[in-house]
Amino acid sequence: MENVLKYYQFSEFFKDESGTFSSNEISFSELNETHFLIFEKTATSYNLFVSRFKNKKEIGKNPPEILEILIENYDKSIPEHRMAIKQYFAE
């Protein structure tokens, strides 16, 4: 998982204080000024979301304007899971 986070330049994990992610730790990668991919780290798995915030300073502090789950229980060994991230970074 660490390789995925590094490759796509996800932030370090930090505690969500917005209540959106049940106070779990989250990590984000910036797609543009307002859209982000977010990994939520639960006790047993990682969940991947696409989200929209006014800016990255709001992540983990305020609820997102838009939040959609892409993958529950992310597993980098599953090609469809890897492609879900890759499609957002395709140029």
CA–CA distance, 20 with 61 (Å, rounded to integer): 9
Please measure the distance between the N-terminal and C-terminal CA atoms of the chain and give it in whole angstroms.
23
Q: Where are the domains of the chain?
A: 2-89
Full-model pTM:
0.94
pLDDT at 91: 54
CA–CA distance, 71 with 62 (Å, rounded to integer): 22
Specify the DSSP element, H or E, that contains 48.
strand 46-52
pLDDT at 18: 96
CA–CA distance, 57 with 34 (Å, rounded to integer): 10
Per-residue pLDDT tens digits for 11-70: 999 999 999 999 999 999 999 999 999 999 999 999 999 999 999 999 999 999 999 999
Residue 89 has pLDDT above 90, yes or no: no
